[in-house]
Amino acid sequence: MVEEGLRSQLRNIEKNYGRSVDAWTAAIAASGKKRHGEIVAWLKAEHGLPHGAANRLALVALDAGKAPGGPSPEDELYAGSRVALRPIHDRLMDTIRAFGGDLEVAPKKGYVSLRRRKQFAMIRPAAKHVDVGLVLPGAPVTDRLESAATFNALFTHRVRVRSTADVDAELVGWLREAHSAAA
């Protein structure tokens, strides 16, 4: 269902903006832009694309530019001293994907953004834990479900996940609530 929606979005981009996805990908490659945000900004400024179309083309172009078997954005996030945190990330992603429904995973420079109709969470490796930012307006702050006021203004709460065991029923409940509210 999600895959068909993405294919439909790409067909609409081709129809509405007069170039094939391959042509857009080639133009992006020729631009020399390498980061998601700069590609989106370039497509919007230079080609007048709306944000949704620019975002989808940037994701397609970045995916096409990866060498088979090359490093994923997550590999880069969890390189070096953070490699031990990767199982936490994978557990969180498996949990969120199991909720079903549409899900956009947008790797950024230092974290992974998770969106449905709107952003609902982010996963960011820290030195000794993984931060999970959540959009849960009205949820009370607790010792574990911290305020995100000093963490990231896009989120209402933060949870510090120190091991895969911390991806428990309580955290899954908060993730599911944020995921559902973003539909």
Considering the domain architecture, whether residues 149 and 84 belong to the same structural domain is answered as yes
Q: Which two structure tokens, joined as six digits, stand for 14?
A: 């081709």
3 state SS of 113: strand
3 state SS of 153: coil
Considering the domain architecture, whether residues 37 and 85 belong to the same structural domain is answered as no
49 within some domain: yes
The answer to whether residue 71 scores a pLDDT higher than 70 is no
**Burial class of residue 129, CB neighbours in 10 A (0-12, 13-18, 19+):** middle
Cα 65 from Cα 155, distance rounded (Å) = 31
Considering the domain architecture, whether residues 45 and 95 belong to the same structural domain is answered as no
The answer to whether residue 172 scores a pLDDT higher than 70 is yes
21 within some domain: yes
Residues spanned by the domain of 90: 74-181
When divided into structural domains, the chain yields a total of: 2
69 within some domain: no
Do residues 122 and 133 lie in contact, with contact meaning Cβ atoms separated by under 8 Å?
A: yes
Cα 177 from Cα 181, distance rounded (Å) = 6
Considering the domain architecture, whether residues 21 and 84 belong to the same structural domain is answered as no
Considering the domain architecture, whether residues 15 and 94 belong to the same structural domain is answered as no
Q: Chain-wide mean pLDDT for the chain?
A: 88
Give 139's pLDDT tier (boundaries 50, 70, 90).
Answer: very high
Considering the domain architecture, whether residues 98 and 168 belong to the same structural domain is answered as yes
Highest mean pLDDT among 11-25, 49-63, 68-82, 160-174: 160-174
Considering the domain architecture, whether residues 82 and 57 belong to the same structural domain is answered as no
Q: What is the mean pLDDT of residues 129-142?
A: 97
Do residues 158 and 123 lie in contact, with contact meaning Cβ atoms separated by under 8 Å?
A: no
Last residue of a domain, one of 42, 64, 86: 64
Considering the domain architecture, whether residues 132 and 81 belong to the same structural domain is answered as yes
Cα 36 from Cα 54, distance rounded (Å) = 10
